[in-house]
Amino acid sequence: MLRSNSEELVRKTMARFVDNEVIPQAQALDEKGEFPQALFEELSRMGVFGIRYPRKQGGGGGNNTLYCIICEELARGFMSLAAVTAMQCLMGTNFLFHYGNDNLKERYFYPAMRGEKIACFCLTEPEAGSDLGAVTTRATAADDEGWIINGLKTWVTNGPVADFYTVLCQTDPAKKFRGLNFFFVPRDTPGVSVSKPFDTVGTRTTYISEVAFENVHIPSENRLGADGQGLSNLMAILAEIRSMTAALAIGLQRAALADSIRYAHERAQFGRTIGKFQLIQAKIGDMATNLEASKLMTYSSTRMIDEGIPCLKEASMAKYFATEAACKAADEATRIFGAYGYSMDYTVQRYYRDNRFLLYGGGTHEILRTNIARWAGL
């Protein structure tokens, strides 16, 4: 799958970091449910958070493929850390980089690339998930040419630990989708309040919360992008978001497959290791095949993105297929482990819990399948 020396170098570097630093800590971090601050800081020292941004801006000068390789390797070791990193590298900082002024970049974007500030993205609302036309968080023009924001966002990844938020707001309900705009809101702005972290089934150290905005006053320069372009600007990175989610799913598949093969070699029943039984072999064979297909689909879409070729359809298919394959791989791993797969002492239970995180980000599979059917000509 590797096409360049830079891809090989990034993968080897991240794989070594995951094997030596992440995997040994993952179980304990998951049990404690604490934000992986030390690992986050180490990733910042490695320059990971700027991988997608130009060198002249202090970034790594990498592309979407390199970004997804990083996400994949981190997810192989610890999905929670991968999710935090994915947010910091893409959704949390992208709009600030492209549409923020020099002052905002100096105070927030560059520190975020260095890991000194934590970024996040506020899109979903209690009554507006897949239906962004139902967004009710409102940004109203203020007398001083600034904006007043009121509303509630939910399922905000990094919300409790973030230093700033990129927030989707409706500025003119009569315009519907053309009234949607993104706004930059620092955490310490009066009127911003954050709930305690949600008690989630998986990704236990990825802090997710609600963020409320009550008469939050921000200057006019904090609108990110031209008026009415919020949805189109989001669509511009949607293929990246979906290919990234697919890469996370690949990492989980790899972990589940490796653990299953290892256990199948070790566990003996009826006088031979369980890997000698055809039904176990069939499970491993299916997992390996789905993994290879996921890789081909995902990195085909990342290379299209890198070459400037529209690929929302391909990225959507990759996200759908790879994530469903990850759910299947995690389930089969717990079956191969038998009763031990039900024990919190083995990592496969974490894969089984963490894979649910992948089902919702970047579009639910019900929405994706509907869109794929339309693209297919239905």
Q: Which domains does the chain have, with CATH numbers?
A: 5-113 (1.10.540.10), 119-233 (2.40.110.10), 237-375 (1.20.140.10)
Q: Which of 185, 133, 305, 41 is nearest to 49 (CA)?
A: 41
Percent of the chain with pLDDT over 70: 99
Indicate if the pLDDT at residue 131 is higher than 90: no
Q: What is the pLDDT of residue 2?
A: 47
Percent of the chain with pLDDT over 90: 93
Indicate if the pLDDT at residue 1 is higher than 60: no
Q: Rounded to whole angstroms, how far apart are CA atoms 210 and 138? A: 16
- 277-289 tens-digit pLDDT: 999 999 999 999 9
What is the pTM (predicted TM-score) of this model?
0.95
Q: Rounded to whole angstroms, how far apart are CA atoms 94 and 92? A: 6
Per-residue pLDDT band for 3 (boundaries 50, 70, 90) equals low
DSSP 360: T
- 238-278 tens-digit pLDDT: 999 999 999 999 999 999 999 999 999 999 999 999 999 99
CA distances from 108 to 69, 94, 181, 224, 302 (A): 26, 12, 20, 14, 28
Q: Rounded to whole angstroms, how far apart are CA atoms 31 and 37? A: 15
Q: How many residues does the chain have?
A: 378
Q: What is the pLDDT of residue 90?
A: 96
**Using DSSP, how many helices (H) and how many strands (E) does the chain show?**
14, 10
Cβ proximity of 221 and 104 under 8 Å: yes
